[in-house]
C-alpha cells in the first residue's frame, strides 16, 4: 500500500541561505593554509579540491530537492490532479526543471575550471580561478532564487495536505455547501471539522476514520460544489471534483430537503445530474438531510418528483455496475441534529462499498491463485445416523438457574444504592478467603519495632483530651480577662506618670527607628565598626548610658576591656605545699588531662561535632547551610550567574583562524 507523506520533504533554503551554507561548509571541511613556497602541483591540488568540494555540495543539495518532490507523472492520478489544481503543474515542473538545469550548469563550471586549474602557473593565478569558479556557481544559484522560494511555499502547503490513501476503503461526501456534510463526518469519526451556518466553511479536503465490521474506512469531507460550468469553478470546488473523479469510493450525495442551506431542491437536483458521470462504477447513496426541519413525506409534488428522478438515476448506476435493480439503501433520510438515521447511513455506505470490493476481487484474475490455496475438509459419514448440534443438559440447567435467580448486584449498583460516588466506599476485604467470615472486617494490627501499636493505646485518651480542652478553655478565658484590664493613670504618682510617659515616648521612637532601618535594609551597605563615625558602639557611651540608668558601669567596662589572662599558678601549687609532696598518681592524672585538653585545643574546627549533631557529615551540611545564610548580598552590582547574558553570535568555524591540511576532524 503506497503512502504519500509530503511532510518528510526537506526544507528548501532561499538562494542567499543556500550560498552561505555551501561556502561555509567548504571553508570548514577543506584545508585553509597555503603558502606561495609550496610546489605548483600542491597549489593546483589545493584549489582544485575546493572547486570540486563546492560542486559536490551544490549537486547533493539540488539533487535532494529534485528527488524528494513528487513527480506528477509517477504518483497516483488523484494526487497528480490535486497538485495541478492547487499549484498549476506547468509552473511546478518549470521550477523543478530550473533546479535540474542549475545542477547541470554548476557541474560544467566545475569541470571547466578544474581543467584550467591543472595549468595554473602561480598561486595568484590558481586563487583567481578558484574565486571565479565559486562566484559563477553562486551566480547560478542566485538566478534560481525565485524557483527555490516557490518550491518552499509548495512544500509548506503540501505538508498541510491530509494523508489520503487512494487504495483504501473510502467514503466520499459531496453536495452543495451548507447541507450538513461536515456535521456528518464529525458524528461518525473523530475528525473535528469546523461547522458554521454559512456556505464554504470547508475550503479543503478533510479526512476522518471509522470502523465497520472490524475494518477501517476513511471518510473524506469535500468542499461544497455549485452547479455551474466546469471552467467557472474555483480551486475549492475543483478539489471536490478531483476526489470524485479519481477515488474508488462509496459516494454520499447530500440533499438538503428543508432548503435552509440557501439552495432549492431544483438547484441541488441540477447539480446531481451535471456531475452524475463522476458517479460511474461507484456505490451511490442519496442522503436527504435535515428531516427534523422538513420530513421527506411533506415535500411538494414537484420536489418529490425531482428526488424520485435522482433515485432512478442512482438505481441505473447500480444496474450498470452489475447489481440487481434494488431500491433498498439508495435513498436514505437522516438528521445530524437529532442523530436520527446517521448510523444507518454509515452502515449502508460501508456495506455497499464492501460488497462492491468483494465482487471486483472475485472477477479479477488473481482469485484463481487464491482459491487454489483453500481446502475445505468435509468428514465422511460413518453411518446413516443424523447427529445435529446440541447443547448439553447440564449447560441448559445452569442457564435456566441463572435466569431464574435474581440478577447479581455489581459494585456500581451497590454504589448507587448507598449514596453514589464519594459516599460509598467499596470493601476490598469482602472476597478474602479466611477460615471464619467474621474475621474479614477485623482491624489489622499495626506493628512498630516488633510491637503491636494497639497495646500502647490508652483507652481513656478521649476523656483526657476533653479535660485538656476544658483546661485550655479556662486558661484562654483568664487571659482574656487579664487583657481587658488596662492601666489608667489614676493610681500612679506624678513621678511614675512622667516615667511612664517617657517610656512610651522612647518606645515609639525605637519603633519608628526600627521601621526606617527595616525599609532601607536592602539598599544600606554593611559598615564595619571601625568606620563608625557616629561612635554608637563605644565603651564610653555604654558607661554613660549605664550611669544614666543609675547603674555602676565599672564591672561592665572592666569585662569589655580586660583580656583573659592565664593563671600563673597551677592546680595543687596554690596551697603553698611542696611539689615533692604531690602524689605520683595525681601527677599522672594531671598529665593525662593536660594531654587531652591540648589535643582538643589543637583540633581543627571542622573536626569538632557540636552538640545536637549526629556525626561529622551532618555537621558539614549544617555549616554549609550556615555559610549560605550568612553570605553577603551582591551590593556592588557585579554580574552574577542569574544575570541575562547575550552570547557572542560569531560562529567558531568562521573566526577561529586557519587550519592546515588534515585538520578536518575538529568535531
Q: Is residue 577 part of a domain?
A: no
> If you average pLDDT over residues 527-536, what whole number do you get?
66
pLDDT at 491 over 80: no
Are residues 78 and 168 located together in one domain of the fold? no
pLDDT at 230 over 90: no
pLDDT at 322 over 80: no
The alpha carbon of residue 392 and the mean position of all alpha carbons in its chain are separated, in whole angstroms, by: 57
The listed range with the strongest mean pLDDT (30-34, 103-107, 264-268, 634-638) is: 103-107
Are residues 215 and 330 located together in one domain of the fold? yes
> If you average pLDDT over residues 506-514, what whole number do you get?
87
Are residues 64 and 140 located together in one domain of the fold? yes
The pLDDT confidence band at residue 572, using thresholds 50, 70 and 90, is very low
Are residues 119 and 56 located together in one domain of the fold? yes
**What is the tally of structural domains in the chain?**
2
Q: Is residue 20 part of a domain?
A: yes
> If you average pLDDT over residues 256-271, what whole number do you get?
86
Q: Is residue 99 part of a domain?
A: yes
Q: Is residue 374 part of a domain?
A: no
The pLDDT confidence band at residue 144, using thresholds 50, 70 and 90, is very high
Q: Poorest-confidence range of 13-17, 61-65, 245-249, 477-481?
A: 477-481
The pLDDT confidence band at residue 602, using thresholds 50, 70 and 90, is low
Of 409, 430, 431, 411, nearest to 420 (Cα)?
A: 411
Q: What is the CATH number of the domain that holds 307?
A: 3.40.50.300
Rounded Cα distance, 221 and 209, in Å: 11
The listed range with the strongest mean pLDDT (2-11, 41-50, 232-241) is: 41-50
Eight-state DSSP code of residue 659: -
Are residues 255 and 140 located together in one domain of the fold? no
Are residues 172 and 241 located together in one domain of the fold? yes
The pLDDT confidence band at residue 42, using thresholds 50, 70 and 90, is very high
Question: Average model confidence (pLDDT) for the chain?
Answer: 82
Write down which residue in 365, 395, 423 finishes a domain: 365
pLDDT at 658 over 60: yes
pLDDT at 659 over 70: no
Are residues 94 and 232 located together in one domain of the fold? no
Q: Poorest-confidence range of 191-195, 229-233, 332-336, 661-665?
A: 661-665
The pLDDT confidence band at residue 667, using thresholds 50, 70 and 90, is very low
Contacts within 8 Å (CB) and 24+ apart, 44-49? 44/117, 44/118, 44/120, 44/126, 46/126, 47/117, 47/120, 47/126, 47/127, 47/129, 47/130, 48/114, 48/117, 48/118
Residue 331 pairs with which residues in a beta bridge?
286
Give the tens place of pLDDT for each residue, 351-409. 989 988 888 888 877 777 777 777 888 888 888 888 888 888 888 887 777 666 556 67
pLDDT at 143 over 90: yes
> If you average pLDDT over residues 503-514, what whole number do you get?
87
Are residues 144 and 218 located together in one domain of the fold? no
pLDDT for 651 equals 65
Q: Is residue 427 part of a domain?
A: no
> If you average pLDDT over residues 246-254, what whole number do you get?
90
pLDDT for 564 equals 44
Residues 6+ apart with CB under 8 A from 403: none
Q: Is residue 487 part of a domain?
A: no
Phi-psi region of 558 (alpha: psi -120 to 50; beta: other; left: phi over 0): alpha
The pLDDT confidence band at residue 61, using thresholds 50, 70 and 90, is very high
pLDDT at 565 over 60: no
Q: Is residue 565 part of a domain?
A: no
pLDDT for 101 equals 95
Strand duo 250-256 + 284-289: pairing:
parallel
Q: CA distances (Å), 141 to each of 49, 63, 95, 136, 529, in order?
A: 20, 13, 13, 9, 74
Q: Is residue 522 part of a domain?
A: no
Write down which residue in 124, 157, 190 finishes a domain: 157
pLDDT at 129 over 90: yes
Are residues 153 and 219 located together in one domain of the fold? no
Write down which residue in 308, 334, 365 finishes a domain: 365
Of 336, 311, 202, nearest to 260 (Cα)?
A: 336
Q: How many other CB atoms sit within 10 Å of the CB of residue 333?
A: 19
Q: What is the largest CA-CA distance in the chain?
A: 145
Are residues 266 and 355 located together in one domain of the fold? yes
pLDDT for 635 equals 66
The pLDDT confidence band at residue 193, using thresholds 50, 70 and 90, is confident
Are residues 126 and 224 located together in one domain of the fold? no
Would you give the end-to-end CA distance of the chain in angstroms?
A: 42
pLDDT for 573 equals 45
Percent of the chain with pLDDT over 90: 20
Q: What is the CATH number of the domain that holds 143?
A: 1.20.120.1190
Are residues 147 and 184 located together in one domain of the fold? no
Of 382, 307, 291, 392, nearest to 339 (Cα)?
A: 291
> If you average pLDDT over residues 258-269, what whole number do you get?
86
> If you average pLDDT over residues 441-452, what whole number do you get?
79
> If you average pLDDT over residues 49-58, what whole number do you get?
95
pLDDT for 58 equals 95
Strand duo 170-175 + 215-221: pairing:
parallel
Q: Poorest-confidence range of 175-184, 240-249, 443-452?
A: 443-452
> If you average pLDDT over residues 97-118, what whole number do you get?
95
Contacts within 8 Å (CB) and 24+ apart, 519-526? 522/633, 525/635, 526/632
Residues 6+ apart with CB under 8 A from 191: 185, 206, 207, 208, 219, 221
Residues spanned by the domain of 169: 162-365
Rounded Cα distance, 14 and 6, in Å: 20
> If you average pLDDT over residues 38-56, what whole number do you get?
94
pLDDT for 110 equals 95
pLDDT for 408 equals 67
Amino acid at each position: 500500500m503506497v503512502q504519500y507523506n509530503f511532510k518528510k520533504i526537506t526544507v528548501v533554503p532561499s538562494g542567499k541561505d543556500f550560498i552561505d551554507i555551501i561556502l561555509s561548509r567548504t571553508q570548514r571541511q577543506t584545508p585553509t593554509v597555503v603558502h606561495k613556497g609550496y610546489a605548483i602541483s600542491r597549489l593546483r591540488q589545493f584549489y582544485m579540491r575546493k572547486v570540486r568540494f563546492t560542486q559536490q555540495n551544490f549537486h547533493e543539495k539540488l539533487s535532494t530537492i529534485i528527488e524528494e518532490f513528487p513527480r506528477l507523472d509517477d504518483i497516483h492520478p488523484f494526487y497528480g490532479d490535486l497538485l495541478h489544481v492547487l499549484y498549476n503543474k506547468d509552473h511546478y515542473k518549470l521550477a523543478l526543471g530550473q533546479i535540474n538545469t542549475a545542477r547541470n550548469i554548476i557541474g560544467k563550471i566545475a569541470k571547466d575550471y578544474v581543467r584550467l586549474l591543472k595549468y595554473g602557473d602561480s598561486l595568484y593565478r590558481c586563487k583567481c580561478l578558484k574565486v571565479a569558479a565559486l562566484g559563477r556557481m553562486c551566480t547560478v544559484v542566485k538566478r534560481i532564487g525565485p524557483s527555490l522560494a516557490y518550491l518552499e511555499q509548495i512544500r509548506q502547503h503540501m505538508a498541510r495536505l491530509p494523508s489520503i490513501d487512494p487504495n483504501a476503503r473510502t467514503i466520499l461526501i459531496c453536495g452543495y455547501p451548507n447541507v450538513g456534510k461536515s456535521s456528518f463526518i464529525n458524528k461518525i469519526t473523530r475528525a473535528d471539522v469546523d461547522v458554521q451556518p454559512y456556505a464554504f466553511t470547508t475550503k479543503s479536503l478533510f479526512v476522518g476514520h471509522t470502523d465497520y465490521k472490524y475494518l477501517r474506512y476513511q471518510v473524506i469531507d469535500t468542499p461544497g460544489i455549485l452547479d455551474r460550468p466546469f471552467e467557472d469553478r474555483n480551486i475549492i470546488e475543483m478539489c471536490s471534483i478531483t476526489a470524485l473523479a479519481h477515488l474508488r469510493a462509496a459516494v454520499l450525495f447530500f440533499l438538503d430537503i428543508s432548503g435552509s442551506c440557501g439552495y432549492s431542491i431544483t438547484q441541488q437536483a441540477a447539480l446531481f445530474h451535471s456531475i452524475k458521470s463522476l458517479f460511474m462504477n461507484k456505490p451511490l447513496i442519496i442522503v436527504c438531510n435535515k428531516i427534523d426541519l422538513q420530513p421527506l413525506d411533506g415535500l411538494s409534488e414537484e420536489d418529490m418528483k425531482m428526488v424520485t428522478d435522482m433515485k432512478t438515476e442512482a438505481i441505473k448506476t447500480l444496474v450498470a455496475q452489475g447489481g440487481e435493480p434494488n431500491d433498498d439503501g439508495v435513498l436514505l433520510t437522516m438528521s445530524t441534529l437529532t442523530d436520527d438515521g446517521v448510523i444507518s447511513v454509515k452502515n449502508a455506505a460501508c456495506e455497499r462499498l464492501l460488497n462492491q470490493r468483494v465482487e471486483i476481487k472475485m472477477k479479477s484474475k488473481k482469485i484463481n491463485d487464491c482459491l487454489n490455496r483453500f481446502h475445505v475438509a468435509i468428514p465422511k459419514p460413518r453411518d446413516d445416523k443424523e447427529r445435529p448440534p446440541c447443547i448439553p443438559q447440564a449447560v441448559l440447567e445452569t442457564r435456566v438457574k441463572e435466569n431464574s435467580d435474581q440478577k447479581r448486584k455489581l459494585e456500581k449498583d451497590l454504589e448507587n444504592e448507598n449514596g453514589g460516588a464519594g459516599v460509598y466506599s467499596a470493601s476490598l476485604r469482602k472476597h478474602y478467603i479466611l477460615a471464619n467470615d467474621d474475621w474479614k472486617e477485623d482491624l489489622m494490627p499495626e506493628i512498630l519495632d516488633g510491637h503491636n501499636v494497639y497495646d500502647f493505646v490508652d483507652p481513656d485518651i478521649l476523656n483526657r483530651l476533653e479535660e485538656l480542652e476544658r483546661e485550655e478553655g479556662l486558661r484562654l478565658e483568664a487571659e482574656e480577662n487579664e487583657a481587658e484590664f488596662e492601666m489608667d493613670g489614676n493610681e500612679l504618682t506624678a513621678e511614675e506618670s512622667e516615667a511612664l510617659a517617657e517610656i512610651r515616648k522612647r518606645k515609639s521612637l525605637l519603633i519608628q527607628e526600627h521601621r526606617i532601618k527595616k525599609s532601607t535594609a536592602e539598599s544600606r551597605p554593611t559598615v564595619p565598626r571601625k568606620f563608625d563615625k557616629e561612635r554608637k558602639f563605644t565603651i564610653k557611651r555604654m558607661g554613660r548610658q549605664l550611669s544614666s540608668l543609675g547603674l555602676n558601669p565599672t564591672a561592665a567596662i572592666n569585662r569589655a576591656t580586660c583580656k583573659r589572662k592565664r593563671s600563673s599558678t597551677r592546680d595543687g601549687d596554690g596551697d603553698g605545699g611542696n611539689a615533692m609532696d604531690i602524689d605520683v598518681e595525681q601527677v599522672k592524672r594531671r598529665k593525662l588531662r593536660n594531654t587531652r585538653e591540648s589535643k582538643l585545643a589543637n583540633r581543627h574546627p571542622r573536626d569538632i561535632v557540636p552538640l545536637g549533631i549526629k556525626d561529622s557529615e551532618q555537621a558539614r551540611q549544617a555549616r554549609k547551610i550556615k555559610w549560605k545564610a550568612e553570605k553577603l548580598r551582591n551590593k556592588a552590582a557585579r554580574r552574577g550567574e542569574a544575570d541575562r547574558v547575550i552570547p557572542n553570535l560569531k560562529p567558531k568555524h568562521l573566526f577561529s583562524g586557519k587550519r592546515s591540511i588534515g585538520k578536518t576532524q575538529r568535531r
